[in-house]
Amino acid sequence: MRFLVALIASVLSFTSLAQSSFSIDAGRGDVPLFVPSEYAINSPAPLIVLLHGYGSSGIQQNDYMRISELVERYGFVLATPDGTQETAGRNARFWNASDACCNFYATDLDDSAYVVAIINAVKAQYSIDDRRVYLIGHSNGGFMSYKTAHQYSDVIAGIASLAGAEATSAQPAPANPVHILQIHGTADGTIAYNGGDIQGRIYPSAEETVARWAAYNGCSVEGVVTATLDLDQSLAGLETTVTRFSNNCQPGGSAELWTIAEGAHIPQISEVFPEKVVEWLLARPKILRTEAMAVSQY
């Protein structure tokens, strides 16, 4: 119960100010869209779906992470959907993302299919680059990003998870490689950096989460520290260490861990945080395994 209180409290700092004049309906009501003013049907745009944390909403998550502020500069379409609202407890919105998080009342939901339905609904109205479809998720939304990427690896090019985690147990590798970015603070008191449990249901550590996906993608299991970043404006200096698993990866797959030393569950993100995440994703397109095999034959 203490965990639920922490999750609900963590979203109280979000304020729903942003509004979008576009929307689509993928079967559960309107999903706000942000579309660049220079969108052109003859120039397929990347698509990013932003998945909120437990108790939050799509618009609130965007108010915090400020992803929509980059739509014009980078030319992508952004969708900010809401999860399902609980009918018991605190009536919080959630995603059915893993055994650990956060379907606390065992509601029968296939949220991976819903996320892909959103993607397909956007594609039905806009010209979207099939090789540049991405997910960004926070906490429960990070868990949801991993689940969707695993189940629909033919659709998702890459994900960025802030304070989320992979499934409780390791799974067989998905059919296609996916680029994985995990961002996690070592002082996260809600989803622990070193792993833990939610009401007795285990989730893996940030390092294990990334190591699993490095293995799924065929990458070397030895990560290499490649850079330091300033992602949390409340912490002094370059507090974030970038560990990359990119050696020998299958085409279209990689894994990377950004560790925020002493970072909290909701870090006070720096000015560069949103653009670093978006740039990381957009630089990594989807390459299907069948395509990679065909290229290797020449």
- Average pLDDT of the chain is 92
Please state the rounded mean pLDDT for residues 163-187: 97
* pLDDT at residue 76, rounded to an integer: 97
The domain made up of 2-289 is a member of CATH 3.40.50.1820? yes
Rg over CA atoms, the chain: 18
- Predicted confidence band at 47 (pLDDT cuts at 50, 70, 90)? very high
Model confidence at 5: pLDDT above 80: no
Please state the rounded mean pLDDT for residues 175-197: 98
pLDDT tens digits along 127-164: 999 999 999 999 999 999 999 999 999 999 999 999 99
Measure the CA–CA gap between 191 and 196, rounded to whole angstroms: 7
Measure the CA–CA gap between 177 and 258, rounded to whole angstroms: 20
Measure the CA–CA gap between 36 and 11, rounded to whole angstroms: 28
* pLDDT at residue 88, rounded to an integer: 87
Question: How many percent of the chain have pLDDT more than 70?
Answer: 90
Model confidence at 87: pLDDT above 80: yes
* pLDDT at residue 73, rounded to an integer: 97
- Predicted confidence band at 21 (pLDDT cuts at 50, 70, 90)? low
What does pTM read for this prediction? 0.92
Q: Which amino acid is at 180?
A: I
Provide the strand spans (E) within 112-195.
Answer: 128-138, 158-162, 179-185
